[in-house]
Structure 1
């Protein structure tokens, strides 16, 4: 099976622009943002609850704990939210009842949690509509890790952010392209 592609900034903008045309525009945009700016897997996004991300007051948390049941491998980890994602979640808060902490953060059309498979299908549908042939639900996660690596974040920190137990797993996520190689030799 091929690895999911990482998206460049123009491709990500295209995806976010496309989500604005969808029936559940703000929810779908938020799903994409969580994938790209928190590096969560489809299963993890599908399992998010309102109380994971929002304080009882309705404020967006700066970080939250992903429980063992919500994550792959059964290990809990802390998820850190940057300012851009926090702003997007604050906008999304207008659509949800933040006083219901156990309700799904990103409900499916049926009102409950997405299944992990249905979340994957949602990503594939969005990417296909944007003409991104080899993109999948893992593209956001790979892009998240690659972008951080490109900005000099060390692989041990990347592994912790991704919830990987071994840095060798994290290293497989980092995409290498000709622009990076060209910039690397300019450091000499």
Structure 2
């Protein structure tokens, strides 16, 4: 559990994701939604450009392009726009600027990740959720996929992890899951 910025963030479940999503205001709810559905870090989502997701007429593209310049591993990712991502993108109000989520104070810059993290932290506090952070959506999405039986190599591709070893740290396990696994032997 993450306490005072130490430890690993609790993963969101689909249920806790919905609660937090509904507790946020735009654009923060859209950032959380894309973090979950794209299985991406909040920092990269905050820095998305309009052209990374939409064509010149404002129609969602077939894939979201997350630039290597915004990613920790410096590798560009293309995420297919699924129906749930399409619905989410269709709700985002677009302006004339280059950023999908422009800063309130300087529309020529993207929303600062720290601004999003503060809004998310306030939502967690309001919902009395302890041990969660901006990384909880990514961890939760990965854990949800693993619990649904998705192959680890597929999750690695979906999440953009370079190695299975790094991916394994994101997958949360529960005591009942461990007991069920041992019972199989």
TM-score normalised according to structure 2 size? 0.85
Q: 1:9 to 1:65 in 2, by over 3 A?
A: closer
Are 2:28 and 2:120, in contact at CA under 8 Å, matched by a contact in 1? Answer: no
Q: 1:156 to 1:8 in 2, by over 3 A?
A: same
Q: How does 1:68-83 map to 2 (within 5 A)?
A: 68-83=68-83
Could you give the per-residue CA deviations for residues 18-74 of structure 1, whole angstroms, max 9, x where no partner exists? 12xxxxx23222111111111111210111011111122322123122111011121
SS of 2:79 mapped into structure 1: strand
Report what 1:29 is aligned to.
29
SS of 2:69 mapped into structure 1: coil
Report what 2:42 is aligned to.
42
Q: How does 1:5-154 map to 2 (within 5 A)?
A: 5-19=10-24, 25-92=25-92, 95-97=93-95, 100=96, 103-110=98-105, 111=107, 112-154=109-151
Q: 1:180 to 1:37 in 2, by over 3 A?
A: farther
SS of 1:79 mapped into structure 2: strand
Deviation (angstroms), 1:122: 2.8
Are 2:63 and 2:81, in contact at CA under 8 Å, matched by a contact in 1? Answer: yes
Q: 1:18 to 1:117 in 2, by over 3 A?
A: closer
Match of 2:9 among 4, 9, 12: 4
Two-structure CA RMSD over aligned residues (Å): 2.1
Alignment gaps of 5+ in structure 2? 1-5
More helix by share: 1
Match of 1:166 among 130, 143, 163: 163
SS of 2:33 mapped into structure 1: helix
